[in-house]
Structure 1
Amino acid sequence: MSENPLFARRRFLLGGTAIGAGVLLSACTSNATPDSDRTQPVAQGGGDNAEPGEEVTIGFSAPAADHGWMAAMTRNAQAQADIYSDVVFQATEGTNDVNQQIAQVETLINSGVGVLIILPHDGAALTSAGQQAMDAGIPVINVDRVFDSPLAYRMWIGGDNYRMGVNAGNYIGERLIAEGVDDPVIAEVAGIDSLPLTQERSQGFADALERHGFTVSNRVSAEFTVETGESETANLLQAAPRIDALWNHDDDQGIGVLAAIDSAGRNNPDELFVVGGAGSINMMNYIEDPESVVAATVLYSPSMCSSAVSMARLLGQAKGMGDLAEHEIPASLTTYSAVVTADNVADYRDVGFES
């Protein structure tokens, strides 16, 4: 089986770092007597972890695939498992009923899976289920919505909500300055304000804009759905006859955001540009269209679920990552919220998802 491109790329990057470190070390110790015991490579923890190894049964539990991003999380997990000949993948039916998800996790625990991936509908509510698995000797990878206690998982992997807002704010601020827009009107269509992730995204956005001397002029919160995205954006547009830039937190609700912009006749890219959030194929298609108001989207990619399966496999085989010196996989992995524009959209279409 060919090596996972993620690992290949990271091995290349680390290799360059190791070479540089080696040169520095030899310069500092050039008068020392060579010691054959010091010729071991720096990174040897994971070995050749792309080669098939001991069979691993991975259990997977996630919420209902009731919107594009969540559906992509589930599909990505299955697709990643399918590329490994040494992985048996057991996925439960997605549910937004917390009690039902707890019961599903307990079923996976009782079936004797080797590793468990849990993307909880509610991190706090599923903490006890994660703890139960860990107590049973089953390592847990907690995806995105974090448990209340680190004792409930072996590894957490997810996105960086604060930096998502920061990167959106920096892109908008830098573009407005480059275009010489004075006293710009900047709008924000957030998700659900009661959620910490929405609060973190908004705080990052505000902090980044402040560095450029700007603030959010008009703001509404939606519910991560097309319907609320459209209705709340319609209200926002009525309240703000001029908008120079708009950041929408979520590309799924962004379909409704764009519908409201079209209905209001505000779909002129010379008067307004929109930055999305998450990285859907739909928004990437708009980004490639010079007649569209969509200028960019900030990733919060469901590819994190693909990586979760890769990490679960390594956990089950007691391997580390081949390009890290440690013999175990990390305790946490935060994905990066890259800004996708017309200049680089072709590089990111492989991690896009259908809204």
Structure 2
Amino acid sequence: MRTRTTPTPPPHPAASVPRSRRALLRPAAVAALSVLLAASVTACGQEAKGGSRYHPASNKGATIGIAMPTKASERWIADGQNMAKQFQKAGYKTDLQYGDNQVDNQVAQIENMITKGDRLLVIAAIDGRALTDVLAHAHDQGIHVISYDRLILGTPYVDYYASFDNERVGKLQGQYILDKLGLEKPEKGGKSYNIELFAGSSDDNNTKYFWSGAMKVLKPYFDTGQLVVRSHQTAMNQAFTQQWDGGTAQKRMDDLLTKNYGTDTVDAVLSPYDGISIGVLSALKSAGYGSKGHPLPVVTGQDAELASVKSIIRGEQTQTIFKDTRKLAAQAVQMGNAVLNDKKPEVNNTTDYNNGKRLVPAYLLNPVSVDKSNTHLLVDEGYYTKKQLS
């Protein structure tokens, strides 16, 4: 029987060093180990904070990911292009993507931006509630996020929000209806008018702000009976227009007219967006509105899209809200440039935009009401040329 023997391990290198020299080595080894540990702790600390989030030098010439919802609306095309140009002018590269109003597309595009190492994401969300996981990934990679025009919900990983005062948009639309119908004039106290209400898409957080602003102005006149919703569809969830789609709005307006207006006429339509307004007007004209002796009702809108501005000039759509998206794009660029250089961006609202996980610091721009009397403002501001509006 063979006896197994345990091999003797080789001596530690220090064992061959005389005792006097070993004593001298210990302080040096301890010092080296301390340096290694300190470096390790520092590296871990940086990773926990999000890597290069706190190192502005590494963001010089960085790529900015710009995620827009769709090309179906001319305003989103303009927003994306304006931001890309302004970021490039500021010395950054850009990665501009449109999600075709498909949430999965937008999530995949943002994930790809993270994978490619984009250092900042500017996102106009298709569905503000659908980005929780992908933005957690962005945070893990140290990537800043600016929520653009539509507030991203349900995540703490949104740094800032750039938008317009969206409740004021609704107030301007509601007030315009009151003014055109003359409801605040004493002599109109006994007369009632028929109105129908449209809201935006249920997955867009701005929808509730537009609706809330309009209702603050209009509800007192519902209560007195001066404004009557003959369809009785007075709740926001009854008035949603998914994806802000004009065809969907046209079909609903057709149904409202068929079921609720025989010999009666509708006097006003609250529409939150120009694309919806165009659909509403198509239904109204099909029903005979706009012909001699049967005038079109007051129809509001938003975004001053070219087709709607031309419609206003022709006397069809009555009003729109002008939101100069060039200025909004510039504000987003200023915010992005600040955070990438470890500075605090300018904000003017830190109390009103709670996304369910945090109060998101915001900068809000002011919208402007436009009708036939002041469409020249769009030319004066260089938003359109005279030739475009002719």
User: Normalization by structure 1: what TM-score?
Assistant: 0.70
Q: 2:288 aligns with which of 234, 248, 265?
A: 265
Deviates more, 1:305-314 or 1:134-143: 305-314
Q: 2:129 aligns with which of 100, 118, 124?
A: 124
Query: Is 1:337 the counterpart of 2:360 in the alignment?
Result: no
Correspondence for 2:254: 234
Query: Is 1:293 the counterpart of 2:293 in the alignment?
Result: no
Correspondence for 2:212: 203
Alignment of 1:132-211 (within 5 A): 132-149=137-154, 151-177=156-182, 181=188, 182-192=191-201, 196-211=205-220
Amino acid at match of 2:229: S
Correspondence for 1:74: 80
Query: Is 1:225 the counterpart of 2:248 in the alignment?
Result: no
User: 1:260-279 CA distances to partner (integer Å, 9 max, x unpaired)?
Assistant: 22222212685622211232
SS at match of 1:152: coil
2-structure distance, mates of 1:103, 1:231: 32
2-structure distance, mates of 1:204, 1:93: 29
Q: 1:65 aligns with which of 66, 71, 78?
A: 71
Unaligned runs of 5+ in 1: 1-52, 325-329
Cα offset, 1:195, TM superposition: 5.3
1-structure distance, mates of 2:100, 2:312: 33
CA gap 1:101/1:225 in 2 versus in 1, 3 angstroms: closer
Contact 1:190–1:222 at 8 Å: present in 2 too? yes
Contact 1:56–1:316 at 8 Å: present in 2 too? no
SS at match of 1:282: helix
Correspondence for 1:312: 336
Correspondence for 1:31: none
1-structure distance, mates of 2:346, 2:131: 32
1-structure distance, mates of 2:175, 2:61: 45
Cα offset, 1:140, TM superposition: 1.2
Q: Percent identity?
A: 24
User: Normalization by structure 2: what TM-score?
Assistant: 0.64
Contact 1:106–1:129 at 8 Å: present in 2 too? yes
1-structure distance, mates of 2:175, 2:276: 22
Question: Which structure has the higher relative contact order (CA within 8 Å, separation 6+)?
Answer: 1
Cα offset, 1:230, TM superposition: 1.7
Amino acid at match of 2:215: A
Q: 1:274 aligns with which of 279, 284, 299?
A: 299
Amino acid at match of 1:68: E
User: 1:203-229 CA distances to partner (integer Å, 9 max, x unpaired)?
Assistant: 322220134554452455433222222
**Which structure is larger by alpha-carbon Rg, 1 or 2?**
2
Cα offset, 1:150, TM superposition: 5.8
